[in-house]
A and B are shown apart, each in its own frame.
Chain A
């Protein structure tokens, strides 16, 4: 569904990657590997359309992304280093907003998703009272709610505990089985059988 052809990106006169080809198809989970500073995050942001300092072509179902941005953005869910959770708002208020940028949600679905990621009882507390791992879990609740075909997750495992890691691995596999695709960076050893690995740098 997502193909990148001959990608080239340089930052501050340093070539991050060149001639990079990538093909992500339905039901596939791809892990980006590479040392620190090898351009994993940059590649992800390029693929999402957040960064346009690259050469090459990126296609979504055979069509350039730039020509069908609306279509692509509705099928994409990106969670970056900064997870997009406002500290002032409560988990429910955060999700109400970030989900309704893409699709219609009712509060019931939000509460259910929050319970599933282990935030029952924290739904209404402001996020600055939550821990870093719980912040991460708020953003993971979006994975449960969202119908997006493509997930792009930048280091989603960093602050999660063992149980959270297992749950997220489970979620990724569920997405793959449902015909979606996942692009993920992590230094964790993922416990997922059908994993594709792309190494950078």
Chain B
């Protein structure tokens, strides 16, 4: 029987593939956060002022906050339906380390909800009149920051997946933990605008991402075990 057992990497890939497949079939998992992001960002010029000078000042902050909110919107998809149809129990009963299976789910979640937002951000930065020299930094900070958000959010969703009505609790857990990402993300863009090197902030974000990748799935796994108890 041991000859027929899967390797952990095969189980990892199967989980990743399954989650991507579900996302593609459900479509609104991909489209919702993306549309929400675009709508929220477009409201700022209307609500504050269409003046290009003022927009330039708030551009980085607006984009970053909208990314945070958009990531909140998609969080629930991470474990909710798996919990309801029993797939989560199957995941927990796998002989493979839950760390990697959870990581696969988080990666898929980021590919579906984080990456599209990063890809469309230059367009919105253009709309908010962000100077061209800061585009690279903005995209880099988003590339580093959005996976952190998926990983942190995963812990909160795993903790609350067993609760019936959750309402705001997800945001209350996740958003405070995302504040450092928000601070460094916007500071990096600001320093590029002031012709300073953003490397310090970027490397700090890289550190945060590495810590999140190595620790957050552990926390999510433990939280999932508690939630199905």
Contact = CB atoms under 8 A, between A and B. Distances in A.
Interface in B1-45: 1-2, 4-6, 10-11, 14-15, 17-18, 21-22, 25-26
B81 A86 contact: yes
Contacts of B25: 88-89, 126
Contacts of B165: none
Contacts of A53: 229
B51 interface: no
A143 interface: no
B86 A100 contact: no
B85 A78 contact: no
B172 interface: no
Nearest to A79: B86
B10 A102 contact: no
**Chain A contact residues: over half helix, strand or loop, or mixed?**
loop
A12 interface: no
A97 B14 contact: yes
B14 A96 contact: yes
A78 B91 CA distance: 11
Interface string B73-111: 000000001101111011111111000010000000000
Contact of B86 (A48, A70, A85, A101): A85
A69 B95 CA distance: 7
B215 interface: no
A3 interface: no
Interface residues of B, number: 33
Nearest to B82: A86
A97 B84 CA distance: 17
A29 to B, nearest CB: 21
Contact of A102 (B6, B86, B92, B229): B6
A104 B54 CA distance: 59
Given A50-B93, A100-B14, A126-B25, A87 B85 contact: yes
- State which size class the interface on A falls in: 35 or more
B228 interface: yes
A82 B85 contact: yes
Q: Of A50, A53, A97, which is in contact with the most chain B CB atoms at under 10 Å from its CB? A: A97
Contacts of A52: 225, 229
10 contacts: A50-B229, A74-B5, A81-B86, A82-B84, A82-B85, A97-B17, A98-B90, A100-B11, A101-B15, A101-B101
* Closest 7 pairs (CB-CB, A-B): A82-B86, A84-B86, A101-B94, A73-B95, A100-B14, A97-B18, A74-B95
Interface of B: 1-2, 4-6, 10-11, 14-15, 17-18, 21-22, 25-26, 81-82, 84-87, 89-96, 101, 225, 228-229
